[in-house]
């Protein structure tokens, strides 16, 4: 059973990619470049995740440099889960 954080992060990644489909069809081992992400799209993802993390009342946000553009969906989920734990 996927956690709420995992589903939220996958939904954010999917919306920024602008690809059709649902998070059920988004594999965790898919890399951001495989979803068509460019450098600035990774920065946009970092900004969106920063907003998401701060909305959960966490002190530590997400910086652009923390989202390396060769990471997988699972890497991003792990990063956000760690920040919110």
Q: How far is the CB of 82 from other proteins (least distance, A)?
A: 15
Sign of the CA dihedral 53, 35, 19, 40? Answer: positive
Instruction: Determine the angle formed by the axes of helices 73-84 and 4-17, rounding to 10 degrees.
Output: 130
Sign of the CA dihedral 84, 68, 41, 33? Answer: negative
Positions 21 through 80 that interact with other proteins (CB under 8 A): 21, 25-27, 29-41, 43-44, 47-48, 50-52, 61, 63-65, 68-72, 74-75
- Chain residues binding other proteins by CB under 8 A are 12, 14-21, 25-27, 29-41, 43-44, 47-48, 50-52, 61, 63-65, 68-72, 74-75
């Amino acid at each position: 059973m996927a956690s709420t954080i995992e589903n939220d992060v996958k939904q954010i990644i999917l919306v920024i990619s602008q690809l059709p489909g649902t998070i059920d069809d988004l594999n965790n081992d898919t890399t951001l470049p495989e979803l068509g992400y460019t450098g600035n799209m990774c920065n946009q993802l970092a900004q969106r995740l920063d907003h998401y993390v701060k909305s959960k009342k966490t002190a530590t946000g997400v910086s652009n440099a923390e989202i390396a553009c060769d990471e997988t969906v699972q890497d991003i989920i792990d990063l956000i889960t760690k920040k919110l734990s």
